[in-house]
Amino acid sequence: MRYLVTGANGFIGRALCDALRRRGCQVSALLRRPAEGPWDRQIICDLAGERISADWLADIDGVFHLAGIAHVLDEPGDDPDGYQRVNVDGTRHLLRAVEAAGVGRVVFFSSVKAAADPPDECVDETWDAPPTDAYGRSKRAAERLLLARAGPSLHVCVLRPTLVYGAGVKGNLRRMIDAVAEGRFPPLPDLRNRRSMVGLDDLVEAAWLGMTRDAANGRIYIVEDGIDYATRDLYLAICQALGRTPPTWTLPLPLLTVAAHLGDLLSFVVRRRMPFSSPALERIRGSACYRSHRLRQELGWAPHSNFYDLLPDMLDK
């Protein structure tokens, strides 16, 4: 089988390409700039600004679509037009080429942010409150573009991963690990929050099932590993993995709130994101709990890893 992977050079994309090649598949990587990696050929194209030629997809059986602007929280100068241009228009350009070339299958890596943050209880795909930020709206719009074309001639599966962990992890989880390693992460109280995550290899397996199982056509699947992670537990686990003894004291939540407000003020004054601010505090103390029952029941998917077992692999950048 021959597959095209957009965004192949990213954290998830590289792992997916490697897994596909180990399955004996031929992999084409669609990249913005040339790069070496686990693929058989590369196509250089900026989906946001260029029309992808249907000729490039002439021999492709399926497309894994990962390319897009990632969610960067509390980052000044956030560009809603950029999300629209890359995440939505880029998907539209790809879809036109897919249909023109007669490609039969597409798996789209969306995000749980395509719906609003859940309330305190855990939610599944039936939680469909409208997204509240530009990133989430762009992911929802891209989903709708693709799902509107799902049918007998085009198999479309949408994955909504939770926070992804694994060797080479980047983003907010990388920032947390680095902050703990450098002594910059506050000793948190037990906030009893619940956050969902998923291992990189388990997400890749979900993508394979979404591509190859007919039952996945036209479906949206949340992907999470079944464990509810509290921020305090993650902090203690990272300390232990680093060989550090965590402080016996914790910072009370009111003091953390004051510090976050000071960070907001400094961000406004200097026009630059401070390491600690109200959005950062909300990430630390808030819950974002999801359930992937649909993926397990319809496709037979089951996670095989958890954050704690894979943490040693994540300590090396």
Convert the pLDDT of each residue in 121-147 to its tens digit: 999 999 999 998 999 999 999 999 999
Segment 55-64 shows an average pLDDT of: 95
Rounded to 10°, the helix 171-181/231-241 angle is: 60
Q: What is the pTM of this model?
A: 0.93
State residue 271's pLDDT score. Answer: 84
- Rounded CA separation 153/237 (Å): 48
Residue 92 exposure: Cα atoms within 13 Å on the Cβ side: 10
Distances (CA, A) of 194 to 108, 249, 255, 289: 26, 22, 22, 6
Q: How far is CA 313 from its chain centroid? A: 19
pLDDT higher at 273 or 197? 197
Angle 211-216-220 from CA coordinates, rounded to 5°: 105
Band (74; pLDDT cuts 50, 70, 90): very low
Band (73; pLDDT cuts 50, 70, 90): very low
Cβ(150)–Cβ(217) below 8 Å: yes
State residue 69's pLDDT score. Answer: 86
Q: Is the dihedral of CA 70, 75, 77, 78 positive or negative?
A: positive
pLDDT tens, residue by residue, 210-238: 999 999 999 999 999 999 999 999 999 99
State residue 71's pLDDT score. Answer: 64
Q: Where are the domains of the chain?
A: 2-167+197-226+290-305
State residue 76's pLDDT score. Answer: 44
- Rounded CA separation 307/229 (Å): 9
Q: How far is CA 293 from its chain centroid? A: 19
Rounded to 10°, the helix 11-22/200-212 angle is: 60
The H-or-E segment that residue 108 falls in is strand 105-109
Q: How far is CA 15 from its chain centroid? A: 13
pLDDT tens, residue by residue, 18-41: 999 999 999 999 999 999 999 999
DSSP structure string for 57-105: GTT-SEEEE--SPPP-TT-TT--HHHHIIIIIIHHHHHHHHHHHHT--E
pLDDT tens, residue by residue, 145-186: 999 999 999 999 999 999 999 999 988 899 899 999 998 888
State residue 307's pLDDT score. Answer: 98
DSSP class of residue 41 equals E
Segment 255-278 shows an average pLDDT of: 87
Class of domain 2-167+197-226+290-305: alpha beta
- Using a 10 angstrom Cβ sphere, with 0-12 exposed, 13-18 middle and 19 or more buried, the burial of residue 270 is exposed
Give me 48's structure tokens: 């946001």
